[in-house]
Amino acid sequence: MKTIERVEQAQDVLAYVDGVYQTVKDRNPNESEFHQAVKEVFDSLMPVLEKNPVYMKQGILERIVEPERIISFRVPWVDDQGNVKVNRGFRVQYNSAIGPYKGGLRFHPSVNASIIKFLGFEQIFKNSLTGQPIGGGKGGADFDPKGKSDMEIMRFTQSFMTELSQHIGADVDVPAGDIGVGAREIGYMFGQYKKMRGGYEAGVLTGKSIDSGGSLARKEATGYGTVYFVEEMMKEKGKSFEGSTVTVSGSGNVSIYAMEKAMELGAKVVACSDSAGYIYDKDGINLATVKQLKEVESKRISEYVTIHPEAHYFEDCAGIWSIPCDIALPCATQNELDEMAAKILVANGVVAVGEGANMPSTHAAVQMFLNSDVLFAPGKAANAGGVSVSALEMAQNSARLAWSFEEVDAKLHDIMKNIYRNSMKAAEEYDAPGNLVVGANIAGFIKVADTMVMQGVI
């Protein structure tokens, strides 16, 4: 193609992408997180559309941003004082081109349509990257589990599942955990689903307890997977976790197991956080204490310093990024790492950033890392280990088998290496060598887009 034609075609593609993005904003006003997630993917796709105009003719972008179905529902429940409370539940069944909808449930007061749609949209590409047959979905409720008794949690989750059960199934939509939803909540939801269906359909939820058909290594999968991915990325530059100083935000499921694997690989993890503040232990955090405080006692991370007085506690969780480190792993929540934090990390010589959480870095922070030659692993690729092992849990449930921890962990490790390789390859093919943001978006998109073309306009 002559240069002038190429330029004209690039302009057409840009106008098309801008037009679709504008429609997304008009149709979904005041949903900034959702807009951010769409923009990040669209920014990567120009060269793909130039090379494959069929995607534009087939309206793939217009279709992929529009969820196949969104369910929003009332969740009434009774607190310990006998008061009736009402929360809003959501499930977005985003895209089922390559498999049943799959994605976690988040219970947090900040949950709204924008958050659920951004997470569901990201999930489409993440699930595609895993190489497993799973579509994209996400759900949750604006329920705050903090300070609730066990009975309140049970009554809420049962009410939530009473409605959700009408919309899910092992071959339809398979939820799992996310922020505020761990093994306890999944257990109550599975119990309620089983009672309502009158049958033992283990494959309807993942993240179950081992005795209910859960998979070994699911609890560890997202954190371990993030570290496996970052390890791969660093290996290429002759670097490793061994001897590195690491900061990890959050102290929930993803954070704890990212810390565990980083320590196993010889790193010193000096800081972690919760939504109130962060702890800094220059000689290395005692993970057993963090696990006891968070997994067993559901206490605040500030309690750490009463057990380890040599450590320091600081209010304001965002301050964690001011600690000098070689590797930063944001594992808490969306937009927790902004441009200012990125600048400080870069100034302090950070070598690699791996996103264990979903979209934890703002757009400006990501650009800062990419422009500063920091090795950057986007969440879509780096935190895909959780959903990968969820898909392995589904496979075990279908086969009525249980694999050993080592077997699942080895499969997880292979999957993360493959995601890294495929993302790097796509980045190379589309003239963005080494840019894993672009590579992950493209590799995840093409498989879904091709399948949508093959399945017709539905």
Q: Measured from the CB atom, is 213 or 239 closer to ligand NDP?
A: 213
Closer to ligand NDP at the Cβ: 17 or 111?
A: 111
DSSP 186: H
DSSP state of 50: H
Q: Directed axis angle between helix 32-51 and helix 3-27, to 10°? A: 160
- Footprint on this chain of ligand NDP (rule: CB under 6 A): 177-180, 222, 250-255, 273-276, 317, 331-333, 336, 356-358, 383, 386
Tokens 């759900």 sit on residue = 139
Cβ–Cβ under 8 Å, residues 103 and 139: yes
Minimum Å gap between C-beta 354 and ligand NDP is 12
Nearest Cα to Cα of residue 355 among 328, 337, 376, 379: 379
In the chain, how long is the greatest CA-to-CA distance?
74
Q: Which residue's CB is nearer to ligand NDP, number 130 or number 273?
A: 273
Among candidate residues 295, 241, 297, 304, the one with its CA nearest the CA of residue 271: 304
Range list of H helices, 1-86: 3-27, 32-51, 54-57, 60-64
Q: Which is nearer to ligand NDP, 93 or 255 (CB)?
A: 255
Q: How far is the CB of 386 from ligand NDP (least distance, A)?
A: 3
Q: Which residue is nearest to ligand NDP (CB)?
A: 252
Smallest separation, CB 417 to ligand NDP (Å): 18
Question: Is 138 a known active-site residue?
Answer: yes
Beta carbon nearer to ligand NDP, 248 or 446: 248
Q: CA 193, CA 154: separation in Å to the nearest integer?
A: 13
What distance in Å separates the CA atoms of residue 219 and residue 143, rounded to the nearest whole number? 22
Closest separation in Å from C-beta 118 to ligand NDP? 10
Q: Are 122 and 44 in contact (CB under 8 A)?
A: no
Q: Helices (H) and strands (E) in the chain — how many of each?
A: 17, 12
Q: How far is the CB of 81 from ligand NDP (least distance, A)?
A: 24
β-partners of residue 90 are 72, 140
Nearer to ligand NDP, 20 or 38 (CB): 38
Q: Which of 126, 138, 208, 219 is catalytic?
A: 138
How far is the C-alpha of 447 from the C-alpha of 458, rounded, in Å?
Answer: 17
**Min CB(5)–ligand NDP separation in Å:** 43
CA angle (246 as vertex; 244, 252 as ends), nearest 5: 145
Which residues are designated catalytic?
138
